[in-house]
Amino acid sequence: MQDLWTLKYRAGTLKEILGNEQAVTTLSELSQSGTLPHLILYGPENSGKTTAALALARQLYGSTWRNNFTYFNASDFFDQGKRYLVRDKRFVRFLGTDDPKKIYKSVIDIFKEIINEYAGMASLDADYKLIYIDNAESLNSDAQHALRRIMEKYSSTCRFILSTAKPSKLISPLRSRGLQIFFAYVPDAVLKTHLEEIGCAEKLQFSEGALDAILYSARGNVAKAVQTLQLVSLLARGSILTEEMVYEATTLGRDENINNLLSAALEGDFPKGRQLIDEMIIEKGLSGTEILEGLSEALVDSGESDTDIARLVVKISEADVCLKDAANERIQLERLLSTFS
């Protein structure tokens, strides 16, 4: 089985991170200062926040970084809930069962118990350890207040790194506890060089326009660009990678539920649309932004009239703006769905 290139070519050190020079410089200086504060990494999804946190851990702890770095996804607790938590073996002893229907604790009580225990365990070979909480915007207000108290309680043994695409959804007392560091998507010129290096390592050949087509589809998202490149290479089967193959790959790579959601929206089938939204967010872990991007691409390929496409693209753009303003993803997607037909 072929390795995933997003993992194979993921930056392992801070120096290897693409773009985001200011963020990388800040993290490097903090790692050398001996006085690392709590951190809040914010910026669009797949802009390198988690990669940077992992690289920071490697720089701080060397070969023992895995013993001193713990990853949690807030979305697992507060968006996907008990059905998802039972799949994580780390949580079995906290839950007491693998049947979500037999879990009588509230999600927030489970969250506080787990974070308290992990934060309270001191590192065996370092002054402190790191707890990384991804998608921190998924924490509700009570959970954020509880986390703030935990951060204060265990500041001598633990540093928290919160990652979010929506910093405005974090309460002020929590934001004030961490140094905020911004991450942005990577410039096309930097990303193109990265794709060329992968192409060289994988012995790929490109036709004129192929890489530019990938860049256009990725819009600075490194993970999306590398995923597309790998998919195109599989379609090429040893031949030259072309612009047409990129288009085919980006169409094949679209979640089928996206096409079904667009059909449901155009037909006014609201119940089916809501079901598809839940499946994509809860079961497949897609973000609201990813669903909107998929809808935009599917709409262009839908065969609808130019007038209708233009009208609906405007509605998608309006929904995207609301998401960036920290609006609830499900509510905004359902609202968008109701305006299509």
pTM of the model: 0.76
What is the Cα–Cα distance from 149 to 120, expressed in whole angstroms?
13
Q: Which of 288, 294, 287 is nearest to 263 (CA)?
A: 294
Higher pLDDT, 254 or 214: 214
The model's pLDDT over 53-67, given as tens digits with 9 standing for 90+, comes to 999 999 999 999 999
Residue ranges in the chain assigned as alpha helix (H): 5-8, 21-33, 49-61, 74-75, 82-85, 92-95, 107-120, 141-153, 172-175, 188-201, 210-218, 222-236, 243-252, 256-267, 270-278, 288-300, 306-324, 329-340
Q: Which of 156, 150, 146 is nearest to 123 (CA)?
A: 156
Domain 5-182 has CATH 3.40.50.300: yes
Mean pLDDT across the chain = 87
Question: For position 1, what pLDDT does the model report?
Answer: 45
Residue 23 in 3-state DSSP? helix
Dihedral angle over CA of 14, 44, 263, 247, nearest 10: -50
Question: For position 99, what pLDDT does the model report?
Answer: 74
Q: Which of 119, 118, 39, 107 is nearest to 75 (CA)?
A: 107
Q: Which two tokens stand for residue 201?
A: 């390592």
Q: Among 79-88, 185-194, 325-334, which is the least confidently predicted range?
A: 79-88
Higher pLDDT, 109 or 284: 109
Residue 96 above 80 pLDDT? Answer: no
The domains of the chain are located at 5-182, 188-252, 256-340
What is the Cα–Cα distance from 215 to 218, expressed in whole angstroms?
5
What is the Cα–Cα distance from 124 to 64, expressed in whole angstroms?
10
What's the residue count for the chain? Answer: 341
Residue 83 above 80 pLDDT? Answer: no
Identify whether the C-beta of residue 41 lies closer than 8 Å to the C-beta of residue 183: yes
Q: Which of 272, 283, 244, 255 is nearest to 340 (CA)?
A: 272
Question: For position 219, what pLDDT does the model report?
Answer: 87
Q: Please, which residues have CB within 8 angstroms of residue 193's CB and are 6 or more apart in sequence?
A: none
Residue that is written with structure tokens 């609808």 in the block: 304
Q: Which of 105, 187, 120, 79 is nearest to 91 (CA)?
A: 105
Fold entry, domain 188-252: Helicase, Ruva Protein; domain 3 (1.10.8)
Angle CA 313–315–321, to nearest 5: 105
Residue 253 above 70 pLDDT? Answer: no
Q: Please, which residues have CB within 8 angstroms of residue 100's CB and are 6 or more apart in sequence?
A: 81, 82, 83, 85, 86
Angle CA 34–39–40, to nearest 5: 165
The model's pLDDT over 130-161, given as tens digits with 9 standing for 90+, comes to 999 999 998 989 999 999 999 999 988 899 99
Residue 40 in 3-state DSSP? strand
Angle CA 330–267–305, to nearest 5: 105
Identify whether the C-beta of residue 139 lies closer than 8 Å to the C-beta of residue 326: no
Identify whether the C-beta of residue 46 lies closer than 8 Å to the C-beta of residue 224: yes
Tell me which of 1.10.150.20, 3.40.50.300, 3.40.47.10, 1.20.272.10 is the CATH number of domain 256-340.
1.20.272.10
DSSP class of 91: G
What is the Cα–Cα distance from 50 to 233, expressed in whole angstroms?
26
The model's pLDDT over 256-267, given as tens digits with 9 standing for 90+, comes to 788 888 888 888
Mean pLDDT over 198-225 rounds to: 92
